[in-house]
């Protein structure tokens, strides 16, 4: 059974679309952020630096968890792959969290302009989650610490629930893998709850992840071996995500299986960083980028007067 109603399911889908749009806009655009006129070469940043491939999955996880936990002040979303910063930044912008630390990042047209233009830009936002991001306690470039940080935070804090998104590449680090053992420290009711989510999008930088090469059975056995109950969420459908969240099991370990780069122009390792490399000089790529941005129908989710209508 889904843990939220039909209205909420529709809202989750809208939020994912909005955040995907804003992720792509941060990566590529220096102007024309709402596509108010046809995209032209000058609208594209001269140096494209960032990561798209992981963003869709982060936005799916964030939107679904936000729907359930938005009113719980003791809930935290912990992101392992800090290179998925455009997705995190988009969510923080929409929720007004960025504006709490930087008034120019308001959840309106001016904030969208400011955040998109200044992503991965000299003296602007870095390309990865960093200490200037609200809620971040570790530099986002180095993979592996998310789960350990979450378990540390849950120790002695029974009120806390921490959802941790771990990359399948990240889980190849010794730190992340061994952190699965920390579950054994958190028994009893004096500690908070940690909900690990493996983002099984199949690839790390340019190669398949080891976990993508395991059969489902092998992966399930491994997860069970650490004392967790594997819970699969296949694809982006919020109904499936909410159904998994709604199931009452002890020590769940969610496996979110997506295609790396989903909703973009290519998939897998080709989507890891910048999928369309030269839209500032190649007309065909410029048009593909425009189509990609338009596919989210951002105009249904935001307008200059009403702001976000999610
Ligand atoms: C400790 C560490 N080793 C290597 C890297 C280089 N690196 C950056 S992104 C990446 C791939 C990450 O893959 P995954 O965790 O699956 O994230 P996603 O596929 O969702 O982007 C790697 C290996 C790193 N950032 N940190």
pLDDT of residue 2: 67
* pTM for this model (two decimals): 0.97
Q: What percent of the chain has pLDDT over 90?
A: 94
Query: Which spans in the chain are helix H?
Result: 6-28, 55-69, 85-94, 97-101, 109-118, 146-154, 174-179, 210-213, 216-225, 238-246, 283-294
Task: Please choose from 57, 79, 81, 128 the residue to mutate so as to test ligand 1's pocket, defined by most ligand atoms within 8 A of CB.
Answer: 81
Residue range 75-92: average pLDDT? 97
Contact 227, 253 (CB under 8 A): no
Q: Work out which ligand 1 atom sits closest to the CA atom of 51.
A: 21
Give the residues across from 255 on adjacent strands.
Answer: 198, 232
Residue range 229-248: average pLDDT? 97
For residue 303 the two structure tokens come to: 């307008």
Å from CA of 83 to ligand 1 middle:
8
Residue range 121-132: average pLDDT? 94
Q: Work out which ligand 1 atom sits closest to the CA atom of 141.
A: 25
Closest CA to 44 of 264, 261, 286: 286
Cα separation, 94 vs 75, whole angstroms: 18
Q: In angstroms, what CA-CA distances link 84 with 26, 27, 80, 81? A: 12, 11, 9, 6
Per-residue pLDDT band for 170 (boundaries 50, 70, 90) equals very high
Largest CA distance in the chain: 60
Å from CA of 254 to ligand 1 middle:
19
Residue range 86-99: average pLDDT? 97
Residue range 156-160: average pLDDT? 96
Task: Please choose from 169, 207, 256, 261 the residue to mutate so as to test ligand 1's pocket, defined by most ligand atoms within 8 A of CB.
Answer: 169
pLDDT of residue 298: 98
Q: Work out which ligand 1 atom sits closest to the CA atom of 57.
A: 20
pLDDT of residue 139: 78
Q: Work out which ligand 1 atom sits closest to the CA atom of 53.
A: 21
Residue with CA closest to ligand 1 atom 9: 205
Å from CA of 199 to ligand 1 middle:
12
Architecture of domain 6-308: 3-Layer(aba) Sandwich (3.40)
Cα separation, 178 vs 154, whole angstroms: 17
Kindly list the domain boundaries of the chain, sorted by start residue: 6-308
Å from CA of 168 to ligand 1 middle:
8
pLDDT higher than threshold 80 for residue 95: yes
Cα separation, 277 vs 120, whole angstroms: 15
Q: In angstroms, what CA-CA distances link 95 with 11, 106, 141, 219? A: 14, 9, 24, 35
Choose the weakest-confidence range: 2-6, 84-88, 166-170, 231-235: 2-6
pLDDT of residue 7: 92
pLDDT higher than threshold 70 for residue 108: yes
Task: Please choose from 61, 130, 148, 204 the residue to mutate so as to test ligand 1's pocket, defined by most ligand atoms within 8 A of CB.
Answer: 204
Q: Phi and psi dihedrals of 44, rounded to 5?
A: -95, 140
pLDDT of residue 1: 57
Residue range 239-252: average pLDDT? 97
Per-residue pLDDT band for 138 (boundaries 50, 70, 90) equals confident
Residue range 23-49: average pLDDT? 98
Mean pLDDT of the chain: 96
pLDDT of residue 140: 74
Residues with CB under 6 A from ligand 1: 53-54, 81, 83, 141-144, 167-170, 173, 199, 201, 203-205, 209, 260
pLDDT of residue 79: 96
Residue 275: other Cβ atoms inside 10 A:
22
- 26 CB-side CA count, 13 A: 33
pLDDT higher than threshold 60 for residue 163: yes
pLDDT of residue 78: 96
Task: Please choose from 52, 130, 167 the residue to mutate so as to test ligand 1's pocket, defined by most ligand atoms within 8 A of CB.
Answer: 167
Residue range 190-219: average pLDDT? 97
Per-residue pLDDT band for 116 (boundaries 50, 70, 90) equals very high
Determine the Cα angle at 202 with ends 200 and 205, to 5°: 115
Give the residues across from 208 on adjacent strands.
Answer: 203
């Amino acid at each position: 059974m889904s843990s939220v109603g039909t209205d909420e399911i529709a809202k989750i889908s809208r939020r994912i679309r909005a955040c995907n749009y804003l992720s792509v806009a941060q990566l590529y655009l220096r102007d024309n952020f709402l596509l108010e006129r046809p995209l032209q070469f000058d609208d594209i940043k001269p140096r494209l630096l960032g990561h798209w491939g992981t963003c869709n999955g982060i936005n799916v996880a964030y939107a679904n968890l936000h729907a359930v936990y938005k009113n719980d002040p003791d809930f935290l979303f912990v992101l392992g792959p800090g290179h998925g910063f455009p997705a995190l930044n988009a969510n923080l912008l929409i929720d007004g969290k960025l504006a709490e630390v930087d008034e120019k990042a308001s959840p309106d047209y001016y904030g969208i302009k400011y955040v998109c233009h200044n992503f991965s830009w000299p003296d602007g936002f870095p390309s990865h989650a960093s200490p200037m991001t609200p809620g971040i306690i570790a530099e986002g470039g180095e993979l592996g610490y998310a789960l350990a940080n979450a378990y540390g935070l849950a120790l002695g804090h029974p009120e806390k629930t921490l959802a941790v998104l771990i990359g399948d590449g990240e889980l190849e680090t010794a730190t992340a893998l061994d952190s699965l053992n920390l579950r054994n420290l958190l028994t009893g009711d004096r500690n908070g709850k940690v909900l690990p989510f493996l983002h099984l999008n199949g690839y790390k930088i340019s190669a398949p992840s080891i976990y993508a090469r395991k059969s489902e059975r092998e992966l399930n056995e491994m997860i069970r071996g650490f004392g967790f109950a594997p819970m699969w969420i296949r694809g982006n459908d919020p109904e499936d995500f909410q159904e998994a969240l709604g199931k009452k099991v002890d020590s769940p370990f969610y496996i979110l299986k997506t295609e790396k780069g989903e909703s973009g122009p290519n998939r897998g390792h080709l989507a890891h960083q910048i999928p369309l490399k030269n839209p500032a000089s190649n007309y065909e790529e410029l048009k593909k980028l425009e189509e990609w941005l338009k596919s989210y129908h951002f105009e249904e989710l935001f307008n200059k007067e009403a702001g976000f209508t999610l």
